[in-house]
Amino acid sequence: MTEISIFVQGIPQPQGALKSIPYQSDNGKMGVRTFNKSKKLEPWRERVERAIRDKMEESNEYFNVDDPVKIHCIFYLPVPKAQNKKIKGHPLYVTVRPDLDKYIRAIFDAFTLATGTDDSRIWSSSESKKYTNNYQEVGVNIVIIQEPQVYAGGTG
């Protein structure tokens, strides 16, 4: 079993729905261009991809790109500026949009780009989103655990 842990600093960006715009090509045929709505997503995903790739390269552990993978992520988000003045401190858990699955989608795609394999290898994941405190930077903590493939029901 191989395990790597990475912290990527910066405001995590969700990967939401794609935006599609119809266009007419030079030969008169209609087509559709599809792209992400957020301009911040691509730099964030590239930063995560680079961090995963760098950590895998510097790790002394062998990382087989064909083995199953578990990923655990904790997203640390900035505390909102608008707070209830009657409450001291701030909540720990983020219970507002964007949804957690949008954040993890960007991580999975960065994993795909960093490893050169499809994120379908990820057989298990756990994720949470929290507000930062005085001791924690804004970003995401990613733990990637690779396990050797196990075959059920056979003798060898």
Question: Where do the domains of the chain lie?
Answer: 2-15+28-146
Topology classification of domain 2-15+28-146: 60s Ribosomal Protein L30; Chain: A; (3.30.1330)
pLDDT in tens, 102-156: 999 999 999 999 998 899 999 999 999 999 987 889 999 999 999 888 877 755 5
- For 116-151, give the secondary structure using H, E and C: CCCHHHEEEEEEEEEECCCCCCCEEEEEEEECCCCC
pLDDT in tens, 55-81: 988 886 677 778 899 999 999 999 877
Q: What confidence score (pLDDT) does residue 30 get?
A: 79
Structure tokens at 88: 């001291």
Residue 87: pLDDT over 80? no
What Rg, from alpha-carbon coordinates, does the chain have? 19
Contact 102, 41 (CB under 8 A): no
* pLDDT mean over 86-111: 87
Q: What confidence score (pLDDT) does residue 18 get?
A: 60
Residues 6+ positions from 111 with CB-CB distance below 8 Å: 49, 52, 69, 71, 119, 122, 144
| H or E element that contains 107 | helix 100-115
Residue 32: pLDDT over 80? no
Residues 6+ positions from 149 with CB-CB distance below 8 Å: 66, 67, 68
pLDDT in tens, 43-53: 999 999 999 99
Q: What confidence score (pLDDT) does residue 85 get?
A: 55
pTM: 0.82
Contact 105, 15 (CB under 8 A): yes
